[in-house]
């Protein structure tokens, strides 16, 4: 098993090669990687069946993330092809000017270098992350969870072989074969080789990385997302949005976990939305005011307000005002995605201005917080922090800036 130090060295060498690679060569590599996923479909699915058979301790709600089939592999391949169609951020010059001393200064987009990604049982991350880092000129070191180890290794093998056959550095994509906590800890401290670390997974994983890593971290993922139904909401629209945000794919980070309803419409509307959610199998947990209106709602606990369920569970709160809703959300949100349903544009604007989250919607589902939905192509994750990147992270967010200065003999006096 290759040591992490050796993997880091190889990644650093590959990153230096990628930094000077032209866009056409990178696109050629992406298409080759996409073709390799399809060509190696049988081997990848065989590995995935092995992982699924061994996933005895995994909650059933997460098995869908682990499971691959022919369509999902096709989607992964199409994701790589779509990345090839996107503009290359490292081919861009942000701006340029002449200083007072006659220096020509250019601000250029450049890769971050070596990106480390620690993620849980989501094998699609392997392909998405490899494609985005490669197109943006970065090498990537991937460390997935033990539940998806065989699948991840099979995908990485196919991608690396595609790069080799295309005459490109295979070490641009490396998968850590050791899924132990020790390897994760070592990776978090590999400051000599890794420029930035991105955790993808539940809140526990993300917080562990943030608290223990010495490598700079971009915080992503955890989504305690809220839907607020205002007193002036279109209630039919509100039902459609709340059901979509909670039910369409409850295990993902942009699914809504909390429902807040203005007191003026709660008595008539809460029974309607509760019936619609319960019909879809959602367990509702509510405060005293909500339970008085719909007695079958079970009592909420203080812990519920801060919990990302990743399941068909939703907590409900009746609030007295827009201000109360904003305060509650800012106090309990993971600063991911929130939405207000209202026909009052002034209240909608106030909600967007005062909610401290990466993505704030008016009259739309939180499920749209996604790189593909925003037109970025595939995403590396959704950042909930404020430094460098926030919200869906596409190619642009995987770059930094470099100043290139040209003079004709100037010296500073």
What mean pLDDT comes out for the span 252-269? Answer: 95
Q: For residue 153, which of 177, 173, 170, 134 has the smallest C-alpha distance?
A: 177
Regarding predicted confidence, which is higher, 105 or 203?
105
| Confidence class for position 63, pLDDT limits 50, 70, 90 | confident
State pLDDT tens for residues 145-186: 889 999 999 999 999 999 999 999 999 999 999 988 898 999
Q: What is the pLDDT of residue 374?
A: 86
In whole angstroms, give the CA distance from residue 238 to residue 363. 8
Residue 264 has pLDDT above 70, yes or no: yes
Residue 202 has pLDDT above 80, yes or no: no
What mean pLDDT comes out for the span 21-35? Answer: 97
Q: What is the pLDDT of residue 240?
A: 97
Task: Judge whether 194 and 139 are in contact, CB under 8 Å.
Answer: no
Q: What is the pLDDT of residue 1?
A: 66
**Average pLDDT of the chain, as a whole number:** 93
Residue 378 has pLDDT above 80, yes or no: no
Q: What is the pLDDT of residue 122?
A: 84
Residue 253 has pLDDT above 80, yes or no: yes
DSSP 181-237: HHHHHHHHT-TTT-SEEEEES-HHHHHHHHHH--S-B--B----EEEEE-TT--HHH
pTM of the predicted model, to two decimals? 0.85
Regarding predicted confidence, which is higher, 44 or 125?
44
| Confidence class for position 282, pLDDT limits 50, 70, 90 | very high
Q: With both helix axes pointing from N to C terminus, report the angle between 41-54 and 70-85 in degrees, rounded to the nearest 10.
A: 120
């Amino acid at each position: 098993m290759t040591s992490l130090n050796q993997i880091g060295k190889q990644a650093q060498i590959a990153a230096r090669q990628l930094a000077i690679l032209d866009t056409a060569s990178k696109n050629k590599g992406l298409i080759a990687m996409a073709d390799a996923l399809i060509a190696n479909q049988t081997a990848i699915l065989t590995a995935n069946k092995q992982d699924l058979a061994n996933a005895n301790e995994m909650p059933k709600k997460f098995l869908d993330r682990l499971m691959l089939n022919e369509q999902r592999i096709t989607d992964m391949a199409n994701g790589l092809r779509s990345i090839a169609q996107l503009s290359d951020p490292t081919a861009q010059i942000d701006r340029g000017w002449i200083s007072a001393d006659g220096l020509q200064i250019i601000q250029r987009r450049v890769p971050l270098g070596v990106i480390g990604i620690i993620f849980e049982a989501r094998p699609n991350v392997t392909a998405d992350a490899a494609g985005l880092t490669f197109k943006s000129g970065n090498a990537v070191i991937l460390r997935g969870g033990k539940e998806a180890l065989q699948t991840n290794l099979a995908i990485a093998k196919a991608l690396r072989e595609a790069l080799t056959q295309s005459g490109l550095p295979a070490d641009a994509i490396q998968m850590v074969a050791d899924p132990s906590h020790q390897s994760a800890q070592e990776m978090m401290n590999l400051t000599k080789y890794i420029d930035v670390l991105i955790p993808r997974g539940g809140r526990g994983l993300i917080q562990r990385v943030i608290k223990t890593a010495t490598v700079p971290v971009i915080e992503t993922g955890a989504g305690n997302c809220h839907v607020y139904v205002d007193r002036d909401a279109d209630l039919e629209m509100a039902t459609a949005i709340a059901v979509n945000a909670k039910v369409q794919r409850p295990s993902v980070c942009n699914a809504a976990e909390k429902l807040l309803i203005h007191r003026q419409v709660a008595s008539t509307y809460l029974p309607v939305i509760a019936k619609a959610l319960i019909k879809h199998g959602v367990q509702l947990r509510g405060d005293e005011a909500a339970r008085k209106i719909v007695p079958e709602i079970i009592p909420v606990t203080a812990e519920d307000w801060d919990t990302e369920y990743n399941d068909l569970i939703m907590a409900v709160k009746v609030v007295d005002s827009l201000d109360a809703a904003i305060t509650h959300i800012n106090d309990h949100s993971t600063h991911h995605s929130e939405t207000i349903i209202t026909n009052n544009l002034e209240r909608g604007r106030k909600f967007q201005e005062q909610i401290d989250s990466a993505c704030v919607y008016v009259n739309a589902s939180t499920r749209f917080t996604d790189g593909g939905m925003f037109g970025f192509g595939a995403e590396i994750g959704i950042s909930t922090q404020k430094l460098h990147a926030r919200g869906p992270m596409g190619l642009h967010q995987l770059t930094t800036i470099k100043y290139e200065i040209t003079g004709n003999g100037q010296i500073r006096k």
